[in-house]
A and B are shown apart, each in its own frame.
Chain A
Amino acid sequence: MQNAIKIYLLALMLMSSNASSAAPLALEQYTVLAALTLNFARFTQWPEQAFVNSGNNLQVCLVGDNVLLQSFDSISGKAVGDRVIKIINSDKLRNLNQCHILFLSELPNIVLSQVFLDTRQYPVLTIGEEADFIGSGGMVAMVNTDGKIQLHINLSLVKSSGLTISSSLLRLAKIVGDN
């Protein structure tokens, strides 16, 4: 009993000391990535014909594990202008041209290039998690750099797909690309 209290006190102590030493706000990575993706949905403009088959939905396709899917559940149904976000699990990489946003987590390079071949002709905003995602042909990378997320955007690729990202978002990102 004595020991139990001691352990509990120790835990409490360690916990509070840990909390005070850390930054005022710490969030789980995928929670932040989901929130950032919502912002991309809001600050990106798709050509009108991109919504011909999706009705009222802005379709966010996800390729990743249950952790990613569960985290992105928080943005499902959120309003973006007069549309709402619909989450689609695309782990089989089928029908990717239906996506407005395609979030790809941990795919080998050789598969990524096939994905980009499939989506290149369509206004699909591709988002990944690693800096070399852009080098492989992706549009937006949300990179964890020393515990904070940095945005890398290949602007020329975004533009050539017929997408427009608002300057208020662009100014917070590092613009990388071919030219």
Chain B
Amino acid sequence: MKKHITGFLLLLAQPCVLQAAAQDALELNVEDLLNVEVTSVSKKAQALNDSAAAIFVITHDDIKRIGATSIPEALRMAPGLDVARIDSNKWAVSARGFNARFSNKLLVLIDGRNTYSRMFSGTYWENQDVMMEDVERIEVIRGPGATLWGANAVNGVINIITKHSSKTQGGLLAAGGGTEEQGFGAFRYGATLGEDTTGRVYAKGFKRDQNTNAQGMGAGDDWDKVQGGFRLDSQLSMTDELKFQGDLYHSHLNQVLSQPSVISPYSLVARDKAEAYGGNIMGRWQHTFSTQSDMSLQLFYDYYRRNEEWMSEGRDTFDLDFQHRLGLFDSHELIWGLGYQLTSDRLQGGSIFSMSPAHRKNQLFSAFVQDEIELIDQTLWLTVGNKFEHNDFTGFEGQPTARLMWAPALNHRLWAGVSRAVRTPSRGEANMRLTTAVVPPSSPFFIPVELALQGNRSLRSEDVLAYEVGYRTTMIKSVSLDVTAFYNDYAHLRDASQGTVYFDPTRGVLVQPLPFGNNLKAKTYGVEVSTVWQMLDWWRWDANYSLLKTEVPQTAMAVVGISPQQRMNLRSAVNIRPDLDFDVWFRYVGNNLTATASGNSYIPDYVTMDARLAWRPEPDLEISLVGQNLLTNSHLEYQQENLILPTFIDRGMYGKISWNF
């Protein structure tokens, strides 16, 4: 044991050597300084974020080194996020609790484009993809971000930022395949178009295998997708920058649906070849007035269509955003903005689902203002702000926040915040009718009973009062630590009540309506700790732990799911040689409870591991081998609320070659 400790101390002593080296460097002359080998590997272990919020950044390098092939898989690295794969092509992702397939308290932006669907106030993760190689970073902000980002950023914001096209010049070709990732390919080419304009185009495609159902057979959830897109960045003048980008995609989302039915056997299980396609186009103009002041104007249009056996949906979204930042009186930084969104949909139902009206247009107007005040020079900042919006469902909403940031020294940050945020009702919650289950005939009536969720046009917004405190430090030069504690007090959460039973003579069933209401109160609280340790120049550890307590009334258990109480991530990144990477990633996810149509479903906890080995025989050529979910044949992460049978996520292995030219 003693030796073990010595070893540990020896490793810890490493940064002190560097510290001493800083003084040595000052003794060197310029010639020597220019001949010194420089390292910048420990930057990740040292940089502290300056925002007064719980923020975690997933870098390009992190994504590459875990071999993530989709955005949700990369998000598993972040603390405080609950990422659960429902099946091959569906995920449930939430921050700080209330996870669901249609989770609705998280805002997701890709290069500033809101991916949120008014249908359920959430994100269709299977529709959102990017060229993973061109992602610069993903910022994960837990807690309310409503003031800057708007409604529905109740529990968090995910900001996916792709690289500027000047940073993706030249070609990139990547291809590979394996057991779950059966085959994939990606191509990108970036070029300079004139003196001040750079651009890139890309195309990618993949085919993913089905997972395993409860009987140990194929779950029929395989999918494939092709996607292409472009980005253009142009510096119009010294003070103006213009960006255009767009994507198009098409995918087949296979699934096995278990639909309730009013005729015997009251439940139909059948394969469904669903498809989804869509595209978006976005323009953004940024103008700088001075170092203290700039503005941006952004416009995007998004379309998607989704055809499933039980429903189909087409949706157009048009969105306009204006922002202006200006410094005032030496100690204020004011940001204000205006936004407008128009969304129009066409929905078709079937035997279990209908929307009334089937076509609807909705508008959203918003305005926000935020002021960051430097109370004590370089030491204490106060940020206050408010967002006002008007939507067609609940009218006016206000979402204020106040945050304090204290930097007692360069390597310490303490912050605290109080915010109110709202989650506005979705189109589905207002206008849908969905049969969630049919109870087979039994005494005393001997006719089937249909349970039908019913939208409520007078539903109000869910709201939260959130209290947060956080501390960030780089205690010693090679270790950074980030701790956040939060307490969320929710009111008016959506639930469903039992309406009056009536007899439907045309179908010969008793109908039990379950209209939506706003009667649920809940509290969540917890702690999130994350740390980065650059143990050696060539060996880094990333670890995080999240604790989440959810308190809901016993009666509400069947209405909301309870996210895992504990999650743990441990990653080791080793550069065995400059041309050889070896990465191992352990994950522990505590048990959780999903609220399904047939009652609560208990999902046991699990531990799993991913690993990646990569070799670069040439600087521009990389060959890698990735293993995912290695510890078990398959494991259950989540069960969708209805329609989809429990699906066990399989172990997967794939190989990949990528070539830059």
Contact = CB atoms under 8 A, between A and B. Distances in A.
A94 B37 contact: no
B18 interface: yes
B531 interface: no
Contacts of A11: 7, 11, 536
B26 A114 contact: no
B555 interface: no
Interface stretch (B39-47, B122-130, B268-276): B39-47
A52 interface: no
A148 B239 contact: no
A28 B21 contact: yes
Contacts of B39: 26-29, 147
Interface in A5-53: 5, 7-8, 11-12, 14-15, 18, 22-23, 25-32, 34-36, 38-39, 43
Given A32-B36, A115-B291, A18 B537 contact: yes
B43 A23 contact: no
A38 B22 CA distance: 12
A75 B34 contact: no
B38 A93 contact: no
Nearest to A11: B7
Contacts of A113: 238-239, 288
Given A66-B48, A69-B410, A32 B38 contact: yes
A74 B241 contact: no
A35 to B, nearest CB: 4
B366 to A, nearest CB: 26
Contact of A31 (B7, B10, B22): B22
A161 B518 CA distance: 66
A15 B34 contact: no
Nearest to A93: B291
Among A73, A108, A151, which residue has the most Cβ atoms of chain B within 10 A?
A: A108
Interface string B330-343: 10010000000000
B396 interface: no
A51 to B, nearest CB: 22
Nearest to A116: B238
B33 A36 contact: yes
11 contacts: A8-B7, A12-B10, A26-B36, A27-B22, A31-B18, A31-B25, A35-B28, A39-B29, A71-B22, A78-B26, A108-B241
A57 interface: no
Contacts of B622: none
Contacts of A7: 7
Contact of A111 (B24, B25, B291, B378): B291
B286 interface: yes
A110 B42 contact: no
B1 A67 contact: no
A66 B290 contact: no
Contact of B40 (A29, A89, A93): A29
Contact of B43 (A1, A22, A67, A151): A67
A43 B30 CA distance: 10
Residues of B in contact with A, size category: 35 or more
Contacts of B259: none
A4 B30 CA distance: 44
Contacts of A70: 46, 410-411, 474, 477
B308 to A, nearest CB: 42
A24 to B, nearest CB: 9
B1 A4 contact: yes
Given A29-B38, A65-B47, A94 B330 contact: yes
Among A4, A78, A110, which residue has the most Cβ atoms of chain B within 10 A?
A: A110
A113 B35 CA distance: 31
Contacts of A65: 47-48, 50
B37 A26 contact: yes
A131 to B, nearest CB: 12
Among B1, B286, B410, which residue has the most Cβ atoms of chain A within 10 A?
A: B410
B185 interface: no
Contacts, number: 164
B31 interface: yes
A171 B28 CA distance: 17
Contacts of B410: 66, 69-70, 73
B151 to A, nearest CB: 29
Nearest to B378: A89
B507 interface: no
A39 B30 contact: yes
Contact of A66 (B26, B29, B46): B46
A84 interface: no
Given A31-B22, A34-B25, A25 B288 contact: no
Given A26-B38, A69-B410, A74 B23 contact: yes
Given A29-B43, A69-B410, 10 more contacts: A14-B536, A27-B21, A27-B39, A30-B40, A31-B25, A74-B22, A109-B241, A110-B294, A111-B294, A147-B37
Among B36, B40, B290, B294, which residue has the most Cβ atoms of chain A within 10 A?
A: B36
B26 A94 contact: no
A99 B378 CA distance: 17
Contacts of A111: 288, 291, 294
A157 to B, nearest CB: 15
Contact of B26 (A75, A110, A168): A75
Interface string A93-112: 11010000000000011110
A164 interface: no
Contacts of A172: 30-31, 34
Nearest to A89: B378
Nearest to B25: A35
A8 B3 contact: yes
Contacts of A121: none
Interface string B418-447: 000000000000000000000000000000
A89 B376 CA distance: 13
B139 interface: no
A169 B31 CA distance: 9
A149 interface: yes
A74 B30 contact: no
B36 A25 contact: yes
A54 interface: no
B18 A28 contact: yes
A94 B33 contact: no
B327 interface: yes
Contacts of B327: 92, 94
Nearest to B32: A25
B292 interface: yes
Among A18, A28, A108, A118, which residue has the most Cβ atoms of chain B within 10 A?
A: A28
Interface in B305-342: 327, 330, 333
Contacts of B411: 66, 70
B503 interface: no
Nearest to B1: A1
Among B238, B333, B538, which residue has the most Cβ atoms of chain A within 10 A?
A: B238
Interface in B526-542: 536-538
Among B23, B26, B42, B241, which residue has the most Cβ atoms of chain A within 10 A?
A: B26
B26 to A, nearest CB: 5
B62 interface: no
Q: Considering the complex of A and B, which 9 residue pairs feature the smallest CB-CB distances, nearest first?
A: A8-B7, A93-B291, A4-B4, A23-B37, A35-B25, A29-B40, A26-B37, A113-B238, A29-B38
B182 to A, nearest CB: 37
Contact of A92 (B4, B333, B536): B333
A147 B7 contact: no
B240 interface: yes
B235 interface: yes
